[in-house]
Structure 1
Amino acid sequence: MAAVSAAREILRRLHEVMAAKTGAEAKLNQVVRIVADALSSEVASIYLLRDGMLELYATQGLAQEAVHVTRLSMGQGLVGVIAATREPLNLAEAKEHPDFAYRPETGEDDYHSFAGVPIVRRESAIGVLGVQHREPRDYDEVEIEALQTVAMVLSELIHGAGLVDDAQAAQARAASSGPLRLTGLKLVDGLGRGAAVFHQPRVIVEHTVADDVDAERARVYGAFGRMREQIDTMMGQAEFAGGGDHHDVLDTYKMFAYDEGWARRINEAIETGLTAEAAIERVQARTRARMRSIDDPYLRERLTDLDDLSNRLLRIVSGQLGTAAAVGLRGNTILIARNLGPAELLEYDRRFLKGVVLEEGSLTAHVIIVARAMGVPVLGRVRGLFADVSEGDELIVDAANGALLVRPQAAMIASYKAMSALKARQAQKFAAVKDLPAVSKDGKRVAIMMNAGLADDAQALDLTGADGIGLFRTEFQFLVSTTLPRRERQQALYRTVLDTAGDRPVVFRTVDIGGDKAVPYLSGGDDEENPAMGWRALRLALGRAGLMKVQARALLEASAGRTLSVMFPMVSEPWEFAEAKALVESQRLLLGRQGHKLPVAVRYGAMIEVPALIEALDVLLPMTDFVSVGTNDLTQFLFAADRANPRLADRYDWLSPAILRVLRRIVRESKAAGVPATICGEMGGRPLEALALLALGVETLSITPTGVGPIKAMVRSAELAPLQAAMAQWLDSPGVNVRTELLAMALAQGVEL
């Protein structure tokens, strides 16, 4: 409680300063004295952004002659770094920081330690508050929080006094109003055009110091009640009430909304003397700081959900609608946000929502699962988004190419329209062959399966004309749950997928979690340097036999009366496959003894992703009913090249003779053993690369639903026999550029690429 009392005392004194009838500069001089006294610091200083420079405006401890004289640009010195990054600094030895800038006129030679926080308004830094001590020391978290609380009050004072121009950032944006191309990370594929609409201009907290703590506490409790009612209502809506991944996402969201620890932290901030709005923002700032320090992508995205709920609570308590969803979309829209929670995305009218662009965002975010199900393209990690885009700007989102076109010129718009028209014509062409088999001109039948991971994905079988589901990723249900999914929930999902598929085959891949797919209810691989090659997939499942037994029983029960095809991911050695198969068989025997109805047959397959397994195919293949080659992982492991690293893009060529020879060997040995081999992964969804696979003798592909139409059209336009003869010659002749040769031959044949 000592920290609470100290914070309350600072706020009480600041309240008196704010209420006084002195000028703004005199008030700032009082503030630095209060801060220096409260933190027992020799120096406390305030810098304000004026005419684009950070000007020393008030100080206790530095030379008074430096006031209004010392000026730093954004990014210059420690103060400039804080303003540019909007992040606090906590340094025991300030001079050791690479951005330290010595200013002799301030007389700061004798000071070692430094702590500073940004003064923020409308998401822009308008100044910096800093303290210094003569002795080297690290500042406590409580002290940094006290500085941040003072900075919130200063933002209100500075704005009210007109000491800085809030319009500076807007003017800077206006000075660069021409067309721009911003780059980002493809989170959900697609193309969209519309007007920029900001999802959530942050609620501006105008009053930070409370007059009546009890009244502020009551306002927060009332806001929590209304927020929880909103979440409960959303979960009861018909389209989300039936379970599945959407419901799991909202379940986690609801858990945060009812988290008493979160409510308690806000209440503690109010106890220090903050208003309800300021307390929520204070706790939210701490959450954001934690988000930046957490490496685990799953935990970081769960804190993003909490950040989303903080915004919702802040809007309710302040009485401000705030979001574009509350007003409603009135035309084709590209939604702009720093981050976005799944529930907030679901509030938008999907008829008008043509794309989402995030300044942050990641592939593991809950909102991405929801956006993919909605069919909305999403581009993430777009730097400069808020600086370069204004409300109402025309935007084109090209997620496939990781691009956002801002205020596009007529030529760009014409190109977009042409691309959209081309896609429409292609869609008509693919629709025309949807119900036709993928048979080449020389009569070779190719099975084109699709990959899936959500219950809704199975509905794409009818839309695409795919022959079945060659890879159903079962881990999504595990990734969006806060606890291990119960057997009944797993069983319901698997049965839904099988019912939707009907007579078409479905291959279930057992859960691939761990490594970079962290879940909160399993531990053991948190500190791995190479998570993609660590404690994950089958390795984790065999180590957690209980997890795999539950999934095996769910799969067996869901497949009662049908054929179950189950596949194990990331098999490194044949004994792992044998052990996994034996585990499933033991569960089949157990269910049989208990009188449960069983599958009519169980087919067992192995994913070939680890290069070592290729050297043991003679041992593995006799054990299996089928194999699937995961080209994404196999290629990156083969080349020791992270496929997500753009600097290694030119080292990750699927038409390299090295990977093609490896794939040829797998195809040949599988055929010799009478074991069907499927190619799963991105390679099979690219027309030219898929053509190379067919030239190697591959007969089954499993690809994304959007790739089924283009690949089927490609197969039906190709003559495979001459391509297979040519491929054999190219791979046996060193130095041949397979990509160039294959493309030339495909164009000569008139293959649709």
Structure 2
Amino acid sequence: MSAAAAARQILNQLHEVMASRLHPQGKLDRVVEIIGETLHSEVCSIYLLREGMLELFATRGLEQEAVHVTRLAIGEGLTGIIAERIETLNLAEAAAHPDFAYRPETGEDKFHSFAGVPIVYRERAVGTLCVQHSDPRRYEDVEIEALQTVAMVLSELIAHAGLVDEEAGTLGEAATGPLTVQGLTLVKGIAGGHAVYHQPRVHIDQVVADDIEAERQRVYRAFDKMRDQIDVMASQAEFGVGGEHDDILQTYKMFAYDEGWSRRINEAIDSGLTAEAAIERVQQRTRMRMREIDDPLLADRMHDLEDLSNRLLRIVSGQLGTAATQGLKRDTILIARNLGPAELLEYDRRRLKGVVLEEGSLTAHVVIVARAMGVPVLGRVRGLRGVVTEGDEVLLDADKGVAHFRPVQQTVDIFRERFALSRQRQAAYAEMRDIEPFTRDGTRIQVMMNAGLRDDIANLALVGADGIGLFRTEFQFLVSATMPARERQTRLYRDVLDAAGDRPVIFRTVDIGGDKAVPYLDSAQSEFDENPAMGWRALRLALEREGLLKAQARALLEASAGKSLYVMFPMVSEPWEFDAAKAVFDRQLAYLKSQKKLLPEAIRYGAMLEVPALAETLDILLPKISFLSVGTNDLTQFLFAADRANPKLAERYDWLSPAILRFLARVTQATAGSGVDLGICGEMGGRRLEALALLGLGFRRFSITPVAVGPIKELVRKVDLSQITAIMKQLLSSPTASLRSELQAWAEAQGIDTD
């Protein structure tokens, strides 16, 4: 008898039993008899999770007195191992297994062979189905296949028949305990919420098929639709040519057209399962195989198949869309294989507290947007589908690179203390909203904020920033599948200026290319960028693609009609690059004048100092600009030849090292008396101890993340500029490897909190 025939024979009888009026215990007693008889097995037993223990609920062949008496912990004995690892065991001699645990009350000493499969409900083991025989033999593959199929159906029938005590709560809640996973910090922060999958799990309502041929046709249609989708994806420009996208799509196509995969699903349908249940059955087998794979490349391929299986399951069930379309109901930690920036922006920002990605990199577009949104992100966390269920409590500590699922009370208490302290601090900083940041000796410091999304402008009034010191115009380009039309750009810039009111907005022209590659701007030079951050990007790309800069210049000029316009060019390496970029704006301004268009009442041009070479020609550049902003993130990696996308180097070089501070001191000296407004952009200015050093070096304008505005304003009011200037001069004259400890000690002596 084939596996499908054996399973179908059992399923037909199980369906009748579960539809009968027998009480739950009677149903289970009948189920073990049916399975044992069909498979000619002397023993068939069902263990179900109850109060955190696997309890013998029904048996054929073991002592009946052991029913509801024999209990095993998850991980204890062969039954516990099956549930813990969610894997199948097939042993010719059970007692020889190192985890064998003998229970004398069962009378199982005369049985040698043992096979067991997990009963999985919504991705968690809620029990085990076991068979035993007196002869020492391994069970045939056909028998194991039949057991696995029956166990899957049994899990649904158990759930619908209420065969688990109310005390156990929802099936599976106790099946997996606390779980802590390590990942790669992509965006720092801590957050708490409940797990929600970006691609929601399809819940299968019907497991046993009424019409096998109808189910087969449903799968055929779903395969056709899925293959069409993959072919369309492969042909779309947004996926580019070559590179990792092409590798992923080629793997998808390989699996989508794999006859072995479709054959296994068909065999599962032959056993009597619905299309959805058949796909899930094969997917369960894939997950079990994934746990046994040590080869990283092969494991990645199996993850691709898992991803494709989910796609096929959504198509066949008609349950399409992401969690964003369904709406978040409570505070959420989103789990996804990967996300695009536009997909992230679809979520309710009031409910989205954090993101955990199976993949993800420090330079991914979604990370850039998440950082701007203030949403912590943890990446490189694999295999959560099988161990995390929607609704699980999650504590995300992206600062330390960990996520706690179903945390123990001690972990919850620690997080509550951290959240409470954070709220207290934020409440204190909120009181600074309407207070101007003057130093103790009466100097007004400009504390501005960074932005990049239309919604960010609301933070201006919320945190009391002096304006927007950096509006990242590239965000609109990153979340678009095609080049944003000039009209769209104009609308965005006008909305931002209107929302900002009288507060200045410094627009940085588009910084794309390199590590912010967009698919619709395929540059021949990009393929040679071994280090994209130092490659064909930002102003370099914009000057080559003059049409791009020309459209943005027109959009900014038209949007600023009757107002002041601040334009900042990124990654200027030499003064002639600034001249070339400004010339593009001058030509567009002349054109608008000729068309009698309303013009900005004033235009001020500036540059970002990120490339160290520019510091050597400031005497040439300064007479041409109104303001200069030092971009500390890129500047630091260029100074130290340390790629910030490399996690091994991300924390290697200290912002308070003499090299970076002496460089910045030279910049402030070079700009002194020039009339050029000097500012700082980037994370360095948003950290209190680093901001203290920057004040001592002569910086008087900060553009930082919105959440840092309050802390920096509060810091400014405690500082005497003459004192901090003197101490910085002293520390830099005879420095140690890092000035952090000395500056920290000085601040504490002055009563300045720099945490």
Q: Does 1:492 align with 2:491?
A: yes
Q: Does 1:191 align with 2:180?
A: no
- Alpha-carbon distance change, 17 to 582 in structure 1, aligned in 2, over 3 angstroms: farther
The answer on whether the counterparts of 1:53 and 1:72 sit within 8 Å (CA) in structure 2 is no
Q: Give the corresponding residue for 2:177.
A: 177
Query: Helix, strand or coil for the counterpart of 1:507?
Result: strand
Q: Does 1:201 align with 2:190?
A: no
* In structure 1, distance between residues paired with 2:702 and 2:578: 22
Map 1:281-292; keep pairs closer than 5 Å. Answer: none
Structure 2, unpaired ranges of 5+: 11-36, 41-80, 99-119, 126-141, 157-170, 230-237, 239-251, 270-274, 287-295, 298-302
Q: Give the corresponding residue for 1:739.
A: 740
Q: Give the corresponding residue for 1:216.
A: 218
Counterpart amino acid of 2:181? L
* In structure 1, distance between residues paired with 2:184 and 2:369: 17
Counterpart amino acid of 2:622? L
Q: Mean alpha-carbon deviation: is it higher for 654-663 or for 669-678?
A: 669-678
Counterpart amino acid of 2:575? P
Q: What is the aligned-residue RMSD (CA, Å)?
A: 5.2
Q: Mean alpha-carbon deviation: is it higher for 732-741 or for 608-617?
A: 732-741
Query: Helix, strand or coil for the counterpart of 1:634?
Result: helix
Q: TM-score, normalised to structure 1's length?
A: 0.65
* CA-to-aligned-CA distance 1:268-311 (integer Å, 9 cap, x gap): 9999996876799999x9xxxxxx99xxxxxxxxx99x999985
The answer on whether the counterparts of 2:654 and 2:738 sit within 8 Å (CA) in structure 1 is no
Q: Give the corresponding residue for 2:429.
A: 430
- Alpha-carbon distance change, 214 to 745 in structure 1, aligned in 2, over 3 angstroms: closer
How far is the alpha carbon of 1:177 from its aligned partner? 3.2
The answer on whether the counterparts of 1:475 and 1:511 sit within 8 Å (CA) in structure 2 is yes
The answer on whether the counterparts of 1:203 and 1:322 sit within 8 Å (CA) in structure 2 is no
Q: Mean alpha-carbon deviation: is it higher for 384-393 or for 680-689?
A: 384-393
* In structure 2, distance between residues paired with 1:218 and 1:72: 43
How far is the alpha carbon of 1:626 from its aligned partner? 1.2
- Alpha-carbon distance change, 313 to 347 in structure 1, aligned in 2, over 3 angstroms: farther
Q: Give the corresponding residue for 2:148.
A: 159
- Percent identity at matched positions? 55
The answer on whether the counterparts of 1:358 and 1:381 sit within 8 Å (CA) in structure 2 is yes
Query: Helix, strand or coil for the counterpart of 1:725?
Result: helix
Q: Does 1:680 align with 2:669?
A: no
Query: Helix, strand or coil for the counterpart of 2:603?
Result: strand
Larger radius of gyration between Structure 1 and Structure 2: 2
Q: Give the corresponding residue for 2:708.
A: 707
Q: Give the corresponding residue for 2:404.
A: 405
Q: Give the corresponding residue for 2:530.
A: 529
Query: Helix, strand or coil for the counterpart of 2:441?
Result: coil
Counterpart amino acid of 2:693? A
Q: Give the corresponding residue for 2:477.
A: 478
* CA-to-aligned-CA distance 1:177-220 (integer Å, 9 cap, x gap): 35x54333445554333454566335679799973599538965
Counterpart amino acid of 2:443? K
The answer on whether the counterparts of 1:661 and 1:731 sit within 8 Å (CA) in structure 2 is yes
* In structure 1, distance between residues paired with 2:195 and 2:747: 42
The answer on whether the counterparts of 1:568 and 1:606 sit within 8 Å (CA) in structure 2 is yes
The answer on whether the counterparts of 1:564 and 1:601 sit within 8 Å (CA) in structure 2 is yes
How far is the alpha carbon of 1:670 from its aligned partner? 1.2
* In structure 1, distance between residues paired with 2:730 and 2:706: 33
* In structure 2, distance between residues paired with 1:154 and 1:581: 76
* In structure 2, distance between residues paired with 1:271 and 1:121: 23
* In structure 2, distance between residues paired with 1:570 and 1:740: 32
* CA-to-aligned-CA distance 1:688-727 (integer Å, 9 cap, x gap): 0011000001010100011000000011112221110111
* In structure 1, distance between residues paired with 2:549 and 2:405: 48
- Alpha-carbon distance change, 72 to 541 in structure 1, aligned in 2, over 3 angstroms: farther
How far is the alpha carbon of 1:616 from its aligned partner? 1.3
* In structure 1, distance between residues paired with 2:596 and 2:484: 24
The answer on whether the counterparts of 1:338 and 1:359 sit within 8 Å (CA) in structure 2 is yes
The answer on whether the counterparts of 1:156 and 1:207 sit within 8 Å (CA) in structure 2 is no
Query: Helix, strand or coil for the counterpart of 1:647?
Result: coil
* In structure 2, distance between residues paired with 1:414 and 1:55: 38
* In structure 1, distance between residues paired with 2:621 and 2:97: 67
* In structure 1, distance between residues paired with 2:326 and 2:483: 38
Q: Does 1:586 align with 2:603?
A: no
How far is the alpha carbon of 1:533 from its aligned partner? 0.6
Q: Does 1:419 align with 2:418?
A: yes
* In structure 1, distance between residues paired with 2:751 and 2:97: 63
Counterpart amino acid of 2:679? T
* In structure 1, distance between residues paired with 2:562 and 2:308: 45
* In structure 1, distance between residues paired with 2:186 and 2:122: 27
Q: Give the corresponding residue for 2:644.
A: 643
How far is the alpha carbon of 1:641 from its aligned partner? 1.1
Counterpart amino acid of 1:655? L
The answer on whether the counterparts of 1:156 and 1:206 sit within 8 Å (CA) in structure 2 is no
How far is the alpha carbon of 1:401 from its aligned partner? 3.6
Map 1:235-634; keep pairs closer than 5 Å. Answer: 311=310, 314-315=313-314, 317-318=316-317, 334-339=333-338, 354-362=353-361, 377-383=376-382, 385-386=384-385, 389=388, 393-523=392-522, 524=524, 525-634=526-635
- Alpha-carbon distance change, 621 to 378 in structure 1, aligned in 2, over 3 angstroms: same
Aligned residues: 585
Q: Give the corresponding residue for 1:145.
A: none
Structure 1, unpaired ranges of 5+: 1-12, 26-48, 58-65, 74-119, 126-152, 228-247, 249-261, 286-291, 294-302
How far is the alpha carbon of 1:615 from its aligned partner? 1.2
Q: Does 1:692 align with 2:693?
A: yes
The answer on whether the counterparts of 2:633 and 2:683 sit within 8 Å (CA) in structure 1 is yes
The answer on whether the counterparts of 1:337 and 1:358 sit within 8 Å (CA) in structure 2 is yes
The answer on whether the counterparts of 1:122 and 1:202 sit within 8 Å (CA) in structure 2 is no
The answer on whether the counterparts of 2:372 and 2:452 sit within 8 Å (CA) in structure 1 is no
Query: Helix, strand or coil for the counterpart of 2:648?
Result: helix
The answer on whether the counterparts of 1:357 and 1:378 sit within 8 Å (CA) in structure 2 is yes
* In structure 2, distance between residues paired with 1:539 and 1:401: 36
Query: Helix, strand or coil for the counterpart of 1:405?
Result: strand
How far is the alpha carbon of 1:428 from its aligned partner? 2.1
- Alpha-carbon distance change, 281 to 314 in structure 1, aligned in 2, over 3 angstroms: farther
The answer on whether the counterparts of 2:608 and 2:628 sit within 8 Å (CA) in structure 1 is yes
Query: Helix, strand or coil for the counterpart of 2:419?
Result: helix
Query: Helix, strand or coil for the counterpart of 2:649?
Result: helix
How far is the alpha carbon of 1:487 from its aligned partner? 0.2
* In structure 2, distance between residues paired with 1:154 and 1:626: 77
* In structure 2, distance between residues paired with 1:363 and 1:442: 41
Counterpart amino acid of 2:495? T
How far is the alpha carbon of 1:647 from its aligned partner? 2.1
Query: Helix, strand or coil for the counterpart of 1:673?
Result: coil
* In structure 2, distance between residues paired with 1:750 and 1:422: 19
* In structure 1, distance between residues paired with 2:552 and 2:281: 42
How far is the alpha carbon of 1:619 from its aligned partner? 1.5
* In structure 2, distance between residues paired with 1:365 and 1:708: 26
Query: Helix, strand or coil for the counterpart of 1:723?
Result: helix
The answer on whether the counterparts of 1:690 and 1:711 sit within 8 Å (CA) in structure 2 is yes
- Alpha-carbon distance change, 628 to 281 in structure 1, aligned in 2, over 3 angstroms: farther
The answer on whether the counterparts of 1:223 and 1:317 sit within 8 Å (CA) in structure 2 is no
Q: TM-score, normalised to structure 2's length?
A: 0.65
How far is the alpha carbon of 1:318 from its aligned partner? 2.1
Query: Helix, strand or coil for the counterpart of 2:422?
Result: helix
Q: Give the corresponding residue for 1:143.
A: none
How far is the alpha carbon of 1:733 from its aligned partner? 1.7
- Alpha-carbon distance change, 173 to 331 in structure 1, aligned in 2, over 3 angstroms: closer
The answer on whether the counterparts of 2:574 and 2:614 sit within 8 Å (CA) in structure 1 is yes
How far is the alpha carbon of 1:526 from its aligned partner? 3.5
Counterpart amino acid of 2:745? A
The answer on whether the counterparts of 2:124 and 2:172 sit within 8 Å (CA) in structure 1 is no
Counterpart amino acid of 1:565? Y
